[in-house]
Structure 1
Amino acid sequence: MSGSDHVTRTLLLSRKVNGTLVVTRGSTSNLDLEAQDISTGHSQVKAFSLLNQTGPYDFNADGLLLGWGLRNNVGVDEEPISGGIYTVENSVDQMVRAGQDVHQNNPAEELNFLGYLNGTRYAEQGMNYGYPECFAAWNVSAVPNNVGLQVGSQFAIGDQNSTVNDTVCAQRVAPRLSFQAHMAPLDILFNREGTAAWVTFHGSWDRTDPVGYKLSVVEFANGSPTQQSNSTTAAIDILTNQDNSRCPQNCFRPVGLAWDGQGRLFMSSDASGEIYAIVRADGNATSGAGSSNPSTFPSQSASGGASGTGSSPSHTTFASAASTMSWMATLNGLCLALVSFVYLV
């Protein structure tokens, strides 16, 4: 795990294929040129069998390659019905295209689909997802020479040439969904029914107007997001900071997600040292969003969610209302643990 950048390794033990471990590995720098070589193992996601293994694996050479050219897919989960592997990717910073700085709103953060662990055929499994030459567009109008591009289209970084250009990038695997640039998704977690994927956005550090710093949810059906790949509204905001202009110093910054036995969603915030519990005031489990009645899934009009400061050990209650859901976030300061319950009705 040597290197100065994305040295974390996310581990996922499959519930669908016994004894299979998924391991994600990021890049060693913002623009890691070694990731162009598949043999380096950089910016790749692989699966390994834990059954009947008598010695250590070599990550670079062994395992089932689910995808490469994946800059930093630190969040990974298994869709519970189909068994499909989905990751969320932190894309490149300080992007330049044709001599112009386009990093404020490009490239997009990504939701990637990497196929299955059970042998089900997926033609693009194990293929190149673009990095470090190709990236997904978010704000197409801000991309120079953007003919033919739409949200989620792969386009080339820097100056185009015979080997790095938009034609080559169009052959790379595009994300299943795209998110606003620099929101930094760090975790993805499906509910049991496979109707919702919850995503934490840690928040930007290199953008004039901070973005992210929130928990969002994406609706799924039949093993795939319900919205098209060029959608800009697939992620519905559930819990946000009250004022992003105070971020990152005085905000909560979502990181990890976990379910408990009652279907409550727990979310950590590393910057503020808090743990949030997302629960429904009507008594239904948060994990049931979208599973039995369309009204249990937040509508787009609910975007914005509840808000808190995350900047002190004890803060007041904030509330907001929407057409289908209302929210209340209450935080109580404790010496050893700080838990916020966010109620959904």
Structure 2
Amino acid sequence: MRVENWLYNIFPGILLLLNLSCTSKDETSNNQIKLPAGFKISVYAENIPNARSMELSESGILFVSTRTAGNVYALIDNDKNFKVDEVITIASGLDMPNGVALKDGDLYVAEVSRVIKFPQIETNLRNSPSFTIVRDDFPTARSHGWKFIKFGPDGKLYIPVGAPCNICLSEDPRFASIMRMNANGSELEIYSHGVRNTVGFDWHPITKDLWFTDNGRDMLGDNIPPDELNRAPEIGLHFGYPFLHGRNILDPEFGSQGDTSSYSKPVQELGPHVAALGMEFYTGNMFPEDYRNQIFIAEHGSWNRSKKIGYRISLVRLNGNEAISYEPFAEGWLQGESVSGRPVDVEQMPDGSLLISDDFANAIYRITYER
């Protein structure tokens, strides 16, 4: 395990201080980020420690979670010039509050073992807002314990519970799953099984099917297994973990125990160990038409590969429910083996531009297109 990841797990505050002292927006020079012709990248917000998941309110307030910092922020662009000029810490000291979601004016935050809610958050931003506990009986295991959350078209809150290990078969069926519940915490159920660790999902804007990224296991070498982009159109599907990785890689320890014919295979195999996290279907009008309903994926970057990979935004193009291409869209945060940024999440703005969070450079970028 690299020192960086050991620090993340054991001494998150140390790594946060290292990032703050050693990294700035200037080190992530926009000139080094390669984009398709017509696209531009700029800094939307800086000095946002450990910026992770994002949720944009209808009024334009961007709520940003953290993993190691334990904070949740509200970012405000008061003069509407697409650059944040006010940052409010609305919560601190939380346990890996990686997930944020909005519903009916309430802000939901996912910690390791509970989901909390800040009622009518926009009216209480500056008043040290209090929260209520929606549900607090999720597993306490910290390995893959940080959670991405999002409300689906059915009005339910979807919550993953990652595997408590690199590779294992847990007796608790909640591990390695995507769960869902009502906004009040009732009727919790498992929606998808065999999901090692998803930290990003979205629903197709037309079919309303759930699509999600999934991180492949470690310690099988540099080039296997792949990360995955999966589609879950109905409840009850199993996506292979810990028995099957990608479309056809049997696990050396558990592969003989499962029925591979019953597993849902990935729509697209992603790069090995790219750490695919946030993803979003593009539905805006700013980008060219051929980007409509296609998937942008934040690849956070490998941590234990002999040669680094990822550290970019990738694009998966679809024809119906089939992937027809998988290609880099924004790259340059990785130069050789030198890292200047690690994309985490993707959030579309009302004007059709895309926001990208970066928990390494403590920044949020905005990608635009001009014809």
1:46 aligns with 2:137: no
1:25 partner amino acid: V
For the structure 1 residues 212 and 40, does the alpha-carbon distance in structure 2 shift closer, same or farther, using more than 3 Å as the test?
same
Q: Write the deviation string for residues 305-332 of structure 1: whole angstroms up to 9, x where unpaired.
A: xxxxxxxxxxxxxxxxxxxxxxxxxxxx
**Equivalent pair of 1:134/1:155 in contact (CA under 8 Å):** yes
**Equivalent pair of 2:281/2:295 in contact (CA under 8 Å):** yes
2:71 counterpart residue number:
none
1:291 counterpart residue number:
none
SS in 1 for 2:318: strand
**Equivalent pair of 2:307/2:337 in contact (CA under 8 Å):** no
Distance in structure 2 (CA, Å) of the matches to 1:163 and 1:30: 17
1:212 aligns with 2:212: no
Distance in structure 1 (CA, Å) of the matches to 2:314 and 2:255: 38
SS in 1 for 2:336: helix
2:249 counterpart residue number:
155
**Equivalent pair of 1:44/1:67 in contact (CA under 8 Å):** yes
2:225 counterpart residue number:
107
User: In the TM superposition, what is the alpha-carbon distance from 1:40 to its structure 2 partner?
Assistant: 3.0
Q: Write the deviation string for residues 49-72 of structure 1: whole angstroms up to 9, x where unpaired.
A: 33xx5xx44xxxx53432111000
**Equivalent pair of 1:10/1:24 in contact (CA under 8 Å):** yes
Distance in structure 1 (CA, Å) of the matches to 2:333 and 2:160: 33
25, 42, 53: which one aligns with 2:161: 25
**Equivalent pair of 1:10/1:74 in contact (CA under 8 Å):** yes
For the structure 1 residues 135 and 192, does the alpha-carbon distance in structure 2 shift closer, same or farther, using more than 3 Å as the test?
same
SS in 2 for 1:180: strand
User: In the TM superposition, what is the alpha-carbon distance from 1:160 to its structure 2 partner?
Assistant: 7.5
SS in 1 for 2:175: coil
Q: Write the deviation string for residues 153-180 of structure 1: whole angstroms up to 9, x where unpaired.
A: 233212688535xxx3343221111011
1:278 aligns with 2:367: yes
For the structure 1 residues 206 and 82, does the alpha-carbon distance in structure 2 shift closer, same or farther, using more than 3 Å as the test?
same
Distance in structure 2 (CA, Å) of the matches to 1:49 and 1:225: 31
1:305 counterpart residue number:
none
1:94 partner amino acid: M
Distance in structure 1 (CA, Å) of the matches to 2:199 and 2:255: 31
Could you state the TM-score of these two structures normalised by the residue count of structure 1?
0.61
SS in 1 for 2:273: coil
User: In the TM superposition, what is the alpha-carbon distance from 1:243 to its structure 2 partner?
Assistant: 4.6
110, 133, 136: which one aligns with 2:243: 133
Distance in structure 2 (CA, Å) of the matches to 1:161 and 1:77: 29
Could you state the TM-score of these two structures normalised by the residue count of structure 2?
0.57
Distance in structure 2 (CA, Å) of the matches to 1:79 and 1:91: 23
1:245 aligns with 2:339: no
Distance in structure 1 (CA, Å) of the matches to 2:237 and 2:149: 20
Structure with more relative contact order (C-alpha pairs < 8 Å, separation 6 or more): 2
SS in 2 for 1:252: coil
Deviates more, 1:181-190 or 1:24-33: 24-33
217, 226, 229: which one aligns with 1:92: 217
SS in 1 for 2:143: coil
**Equivalent pair of 1:211/1:244 in contact (CA under 8 Å):** no
Distance in structure 1 (CA, Å) of the matches to 2:231 and 2:282: 17
197, 204, 211: which one aligns with 1:79: 204
Distance in structure 1 (CA, Å) of the matches to 2:255 and 2:270: 28
Distance in structure 1 (CA, Å) of the matches to 2:196 and 2:366: 30
1:148 counterpart residue number:
none
2:226 partner amino acid: A
**Equivalent pair of 2:202/2:210 in contact (CA under 8 Å):** yes
Distance in structure 1 (CA, Å) of the matches to 2:273 and 2:236: 26
**Equivalent pair of 2:346/2:356 in contact (CA under 8 Å):** yes
Aligned-pair identity in percent equals 22
1:259 counterpart residue number:
348
**Equivalent pair of 2:150/2:158 in contact (CA under 8 Å):** yes
Distance in structure 2 (CA, Å) of the matches to 1:178 and 1:4: 27
User: In the TM superposition, what is the alpha-carbon distance from 1:32 to its structure 2 partner?
Assistant: 3.0
Distance in structure 2 (CA, Å) of the matches to 1:48 and 1:160: 30
**Equivalent pair of 1:154/1:172 in contact (CA under 8 Å):** no
Structure 1 gaps of 5+ residues are 96-102, 116-121, 137-152, 228-233, 283-345
SS in 2 for 1:216: strand
Distance in structure 2 (CA, Å) of the matches to 1:128 and 1:113: 11
**Equivalent pair of 1:189/1:257 in contact (CA under 8 Å):** yes
1:269 counterpart residue number:
358
User: In the TM superposition, what is the alpha-carbon distance from 1:109 to its structure 2 partner?
Assistant: 0.3
Distance in structure 1 (CA, Å) of the matches to 2:350 and 2:268: 30
2:39 counterpart residue number:
none
